[in-house]
Structure 1
Amino acid sequence: MIEVECRIFIKKDKQIYLDQTKINLLLHIQQNGSLRSAAKIMGISYQHAWNLINDMNTVAVEPLIIKQRGGTSGGGATLTSSGLRVLNEYQQIEKQVNVFVKQINAEINM
């Protein structure tokens, strides 16, 4: 059976702005409220996670996450309204692409 798969890369000014790894990082930050926890869940270093966030925040018009410094009460990270919007928009694009890919797969395997 032949199967088409598709990966989504959203670029801005020829730079990859969003991909599945960055979206997964945003999702884990949203769920756990922590960049360190998100990195651990994804099996990447904290530094790599921070670099991904920095890349997104640099390309975005507004920051996608806000990081609170640690201390006695601990730190954390939260998605901004822009971060939530970007996450939602990516998920909508992903749904549309998945529908299209399913249609293609159905047609080529008739």
Structure 2
Amino acid sequence: MSDPIFKLNGRVWIETGDEKVLGHGRVELLGRIQASGSIRQAALQMKMSYKQAWDMVNHMNEHFGQPLVVSHRGGKGGGKAVVTEYGVRVITRFHLLHQKLQEFLKENSTDLIL
């Protein structure tokens, strides 16, 4: 019998204390808010409730010390949400960390013998 082939795998997320504040789902939510200009539209696209999306945005805004998303209540034309410049930097940094993790996992999976 030949030796099994092993491969490392993993995901990156950011915590403060023991609380998760940013991961793939939240970054996707931020990206969809940025693209649509709407928390409601982003929630619909991700098949989650508006309340769940709103709670995630509030949680991130509270824990990052400055807003990642600024929202304006709806009126005649509806509300809008904007990912702040800081939020865009957070998204970019998260994608960079994810890329570095994937490179690390790939590099360290070669000739992995347990």
Tell me if both proteins adopt one fold, taking TM over 0.5 as the criterion. yes
**1:67 has 2:74 as partner:** no
User: Which whole-Å CA distance do the structure 2 matches of 1:53 and 1:75 have between them?
Assistant: 15
Which of 45, 51, 58 matches 2:49? 45
Give the C-alpha shift of residue 13 in structure 1: 2.6
User: Which sections of structure 1, spanning at least 5 residues, go unmatched?
Assistant: none
Greater radius of gyration (CA)? 2
Q: Give me the CA root mean square deviation.
A: 1.3
**1:30 has 2:34 as partner:** yes
Which has the bigger relative contact order, CA under 8 A and spacing at least 6? 2
Greater helix percent: which structure?
1
Number of residue pairs the alignment of both structures matches: 109
Cα-to-partner distance string for 1:13-44 (whole Å, 9 max, x where unaligned): 32211111111100111111111111111111
Which of 83, 89, 102 matches 2:87? 83
Identity of aligned residues (%): 31
Cα-to-partner distance string for 1:36-55 (whole Å, 9 max, x where unaligned): 11111111111100111111
TM-score, with length taken from structure 2: 0.88
